[in-house]
Structure 1
């Protein structure tokens, strides 16, 4: 079988003080099951669909989709920092295939990626460079956003290309479900905040430490119920997961960006990484979901979920926690 899938939420708070041990152990057990799934599949290539949190992509040029032919991890929130093992030639072929399929992807020969890309790699593999990757960025926070059906079209184009390779390819989607963390927006931004959103630039160790303290404080307030951040929406999360589990992915095509924001928060648009990954897998026909995990996790400021899946071949799914 050429393709397998793992989609998992990420959170900087998994790497920071704050969440209680029971939550961390529960998430770790779910991720451990997914890591076992990945070892059994033994991929020769990993294609990552992930967002960015103004660490690699900025408003001076904000593509909706970008394929990296080389990538460097910035090392935010305690994740790996350094060069990634990117198959540059294959990445370029994939980008060309997507363009021929009518998907206007950009290409980066020096992509910077953050915890949204690197954290799942570090969780699922003995090290982030264990298997060659092709990183694909999907804009999920910087308005204006493409309609979500374009993420499905991207995934379909990528999956059709991957199906021709004769390789075992893991498609990896990385994103939270309902969540609305304190991410800055361009609208109304001034001074240094606007400068960073538009132009980026190096982040000092002191600034990273200050940002981590802000995230920890925001999570503690949110978990205690005194935050002004938008609440999580477990019902919406479960509706989305059920569509995926039931091979009804095309139904997200009717979801508008304002509706997603209103129901689940500004950062819920990270689900487009899941949509792209499942669309890639669906090019092989119907699929069976294997590992399932979902937990509303205020201490992570996210609806935290995980799925693994393979092309349909019989056998019961492995449900750690019914969604």
Structure 2
């Protein structure tokens, strides 16, 4: 039987760009504590539930998908490179998920951005060769999956991982409250230059849209593993906490995959310069 450690954490491109580590000191310290716990847990497999920012999946957007082979994009000062995806294992897992009623997309040769790369860089040693299973959850391109369906999907992923008999690190990445200017419209053909221009033009407003009250309420619900509240908050995330808050769907999926025990909040910090409420919460191995 597999054992799990689950880490759900915000990501932000600004964190990578701030190479000197000036901003987000509380969040960075919390992440460092979790990184040490991950090292003690010593995972044999990492499963990342991540969203996409209309890069890897722009014109055709899977509701749920697994990556058979792909790379990480170089961005924000962070190097890119290949992902150590165990293709035969991922194929078997995908077949098992499909057998349980989810029509799963399978992606090949995609370049994933900081939604996947940042948590891997922050939580694992620099030279880590732990196999990684990237699982995409549509959090940015409406229509989005219903939160209840996301929860059920995560539960099914946990079922197919259970017989592997490995130490598995589950990661949910994204959120909490934020409204990235590049996602305020539904264009799917933007260049990176257009994205940067939108961010610069909308940065001042976006920096004022972090919602600490909403973020803390979501973290408290994670601490109780109050699924009803989590699903309700995710359902209304755009209206109450910005389009980027939809990424908490990855937290719900990762949490459902790893069981039903409550989480422990390790840190929270609203970082207006990153236009994001930065939180991290952990279950198991803590």
Distance in 2 between the 1:71 and 1:15 partners? 21
- Structure 1 range deviating more: 85-94 or 270-279: 85-94
Structure 1 residue aligned with 2:54: 54
Name the TM-score, length of structure 1 as normaliser.
0.80
How far residue 41 of structure 1 moved from its aligned partner, in angstroms, is 0.5
Structure 2 residue aligned with 1:267: 244
Q: How does 1:77-92 map to 2 (within 5 A)?
A: 77-92=76-91
How far residue 20 of structure 1 moved from its aligned partner, in angstroms, is 7.7
How far residue 236 of structure 1 moved from its aligned partner, in angstroms, is 1.4
Distance in 2 between the 1:134 and 1:128 partners? 17
Residue segments in structure 1 that go unaligned for 5+ positions in a row: 197-202, 222-226, 312-316, 318-323
Distance in 1 between the 2:65 and 2:98 partners? 11
How far residue 240 of structure 1 moved from its aligned partner, in angstroms, is 1.2
1:235 aligned residue (193, 210, 213) = 213
How far residue 80 of structure 1 moved from its aligned partner, in angstroms, is 2.8
Name the TM-score, length of structure 2 as normaliser.
0.90
Where 2:139 maps in the other structure, the secondary structure is coil
Structure 2 residue aligned with 1:195: 189
Q: Does 1:310 align with 2:278?
A: no
Q: 1:261 to 1:11 in 2, by over 3 A?
A: same
Q: Does 1:248 align with 2:191?
A: no
Q: How does 1:9-158 map to 2 (within 5 A)?
A: 9-17=10-18, 21=22, 23-59=23-59, 61-127=60-126, 129-158=128-157
Q: 1:109 to 1:239 in 2, by over 3 A?
A: same
Q: 1:267 to 1:150 in 2, by over 3 A?
A: same
Where 1:69 maps in the other structure, the secondary structure is strand
Q: 1:214 to 1:40 in 2, by over 3 A?
A: same
How far residue 254 of structure 1 moved from its aligned partner, in angstroms, is 3.9
How far residue 260 of structure 1 moved from its aligned partner, in angstroms, is 1.7
Distance in 1 between the 2:117 and 2:212 partners? 26
Distance in 2 between the 1:295 and 1:112 partners? 29
Where 2:163 maps in the other structure, the secondary structure is coil
Residue segments in structure 2 that go unaligned for 5+ positions in a row: none
Q: 1:232 to 1:247 in 2, by over 3 A?
A: same
In our comparison, the structure showing a higher alpha carbon Rg is: 1
The alignment's C-alpha RMSD in Å is 2.5
- Structure 1 range deviating more: 33-42 or 235-244: 235-244
Distance in 2 between the 1:253 and 1:236 partners? 14
Distance in 1 between the 2:21 and 2:42 partners? 33
- Structure 1 range deviating more: 295-304 or 244-253: 244-253
Asked if structure 2 preserves the Cα contact closer than 8 Å seen for 1:13 and 1:19, the reply is no
Q: Deviations over 1:55-98 (max 9, x none)?
A: 21112x11111101111112122223121100111111221121
Where 1:15 maps in the other structure, the secondary structure is helix
